[in-house]
Amino acid sequence: MSTRIRPEEGSTAQQILDVAERLVQRQGFNGFSYADIAAEMNLTKPALHYHFSSKAELGEALITRYTARFTAALDAIDAGEVGAPAKLEGYTALYLDVLRNKRMCLCGMLAAEYQTLSPPMRRAVLEFFNRNEAWLAGILDEGRSEGEIGFEGPPGEKAQMIVGTLEGAMLVARPHDDISRFEAVARRLVHELVVHPAGTAAG
C-alpha cells in the first residue's frame, strides 16, 4: 500500500475516513467528492489534501482499514465460535450487520466501479476478496473433514460461491429495502452446507 499515514483513532484523518467510508457504502466511490467531505466536516479542501493528497490515496486507505477490520472480525469468529457451521453463520452475520446500518460492503461497492479505480485500489479490492475466500476455504475444508459440512468440489470454489452469493444478496436486498431477503438467502446458504443427522448436506 502507498498510503503515507496511519491515522490514529479520533484524529482528523480518521474522521475523514469515517465520513468517506459511509459515503462509499451508500453512494459509491464515484458518487462523492472531496467537496462533500469538506462540507460535512466543515474543513477546507486543502485541509483534506494535507491528510490524503488524492482521492485515490484516500480510497486505498479506506480499503486497507476496512480489510484490517474485517480480518479482525474473522479472527474473532475463529476464536469464539465452535464448529464450521457456527463460523459460517458468524460470517454471514458480518454482512447482515452492514445492511442493518443501511450500508453495503465497502469492497462490494468498489468492485462495481472496479474499472474506474486506480491500480493500487484495484489490487486492494482483490486482496480483500482473496482473504475472505481463503478464510472460507479453510473453514469449509475443516468442516468437511469433521463431517459437519458437505459439498462437492474444491473448498476454494465453494468459498467463491459463498462470497458471490452474499455480495449479490446484499445488492438485491438494497432496492427492496428488505433485510429479510438477505437473511433468507444467507440462512439457506448455510443450511444447504451443513450436514444434518441423516448424514448428508440438506438439499
136 Cβ neighbours under 8 A, 6+ residues apart: 88, 91, 155, 158, 159, 162, 163
Spatial contact of 18 and 62, defined as CB atoms under 8 Å apart: no
What's the pLDDT tens digit per position in 138-156?
Answer: 999 999 999 999 999 999 9
What's the pLDDT tens digit per position in 56-113?
Answer: 999 999 999 999 999 999 999 999 878 999 999 999 999 999 999 999 999 999 999 9
**pLDDT for residue 196 is more than 60:** yes
Instruction: Mark out the alpha helices in the chain (DSSP H runs).
Output: 12-27, 34-41, 45-51, 55-80, 84-100, 106-112, 119-145, 155-176, 179-193
pTM (2 d.p.): 0.88
What's the pLDDT tens digit per position in 8-47?
Answer: 555 899 999 999 999 999 999 999 999 999 999 999 999 9
Q: Which domains does the chain have, with CATH numbers?
A: 56-193 (1.10.357.10)
**Rounded distance between C-alpha atoms, residue 151 and residue 12, angstroms:** 47
Q: Of how many residues is the chain composed?
A: 203
